[in-house]
Amino acid sequence: VVEVLFLGTGGGSPDAERGNTALLIRAPEFTTLVEAGPGVERQLARADVRVAEVERLFVSHRHGDHALGFPMLILNRRHAETPLQLYAGLNTAAVLETLCRVTFPRHLIGDRLNLRVHALSEQGTQEAVLAPGVTLRTALVAHHPGVPTLAARWDFAGEVSLAYVTDTRPTAGIVALVRDCDLLIHEASFSAVLQPGADPAAHNHSTAQQAGDIAREANCPRLALVHLGPEIGRHPDVLVKEARAGSDLDVLVLGDGERVCL
Ligand SMILES: [Zn+2]
């Protein structure tokens, strides 16, 4: 069984209901945190997860809502028994280490970080074995120029697969990465229904409708929307209908702290 705990489901502007997007993926002998926004430790605490339990971390890109909790997470787990295994693009990983150095120059340097960096390609796709039977695949998506952003897919023993795609406009590469996943977790920073005048491509983000299109095109039966913009997150029913677009796609708009088992 693979469990996905939705620690946060909001976009860059958290509110009382939704914190910055973060996930905790758990399977037997495997745990990974996904994203480390400013409130990530509080998000973990609310889910009753100690920072020392976080074995791995994937960070999609360097923007603050995904990265600014990293130095505090590292500081508070620096005495954990095992180093944190960080999976991030080459540039993103360098920024995360810099954040540690500038915020805690005495505590967070060299071995004291208790960190092992697995720098991923920011050119195309890459594959890494994370644990027996668990494979990570990543692909570059289309966010702001100069801010390389990766989408990720985890395959568990060839049985269960899930993908996470955020901070991007739709691309063909996303469809290829997430093909046939049991669960696609995709951003919906905008809503085509609630914000008909918005131009998500200009912001390098997606609508709930576009997330639904990607899920259908890639043959994913289930879609969970995250990174919800502050206005649209209050209208889950509208977003579900928008993403479903009359199809039989199973669309979830979960609240912070909710979980899905695969
Ligand atoms: Zn973001």
Residue 85 Cα to ligand 1 midpoint, Å, equals: 22
Strands 56-59 and 30-34: parallel
Residue 66 Cα to ligand 1 midpoint, Å, equals: 6
pLDDT at 18: 97
Q: How far lies 220's CA from each of 98, 248, 249, in Å?
A: 37, 11, 8
Cβ atoms of 30 and 131 within 8 Å: the answer is yes
Spatial separation of the C-alpha atoms in residues 137 and 84, rounded to whole Å: 19
Helix (H) or strand (E) holding 121: none
Residue 156 Cα to ligand 1 midpoint, Å, equals: 26
pLDDT at 202: 86
pLDDT at 139: 96
Structure confidence at residue 230 as a pLDDT band (50, 70, 90): confident
Tokens of 195: 């914000």
pLDDT at 124: 86
Q: Where are the alpha helices (DSSP H) in 112-195?
A: 172-178
Residue 64 Cα to ligand 1 midpoint, Å, equals: 8
Residue pLDDT, tens place only, 167-185: 999 999 999 999 999 999 9
Average of per-residue pLDDT across 180-198: 96
Average pLDDT along the chain: 95
Tokens of 237: 């029913």
Residue pLDDT, tens place only, 66-122: 999 999 999 999 999 999 999 999 999 999 999 999 998 887 777 788 999 999 999
Residue pLDDT, tens place only, 27-66: 999 999 999 999 999 999 999 999 999 999 999 999 999 9
pLDDT at 105: 83
**Could you say which DSSP state residue 10 is in?**
B
pLDDT higher than 90, residue 146: no
**Could you say which DSSP state residue 196 is in?**
T
Residue pLDDT, tens place only, 3-25: 999 999 999 999 999 999 999 99
Structure confidence at residue 241 as a pLDDT band (50, 70, 90): very high
Average of per-residue pLDDT across 193-204: 90
Positions annotated as catalytic residues are 65
pLDDT at 98: 95
Q: Would the pTM of this model clear 0.95, i.e. be above it? A: yes
Q: Which residues pair with 85 in a beta bridge?
A: 56, 116
Q: How far lies 68's CA from each of 58, 71, 100, 117, in Å?
A: 13, 7, 10, 17
pLDDT at 158: 79
pLDDT at 3: 97
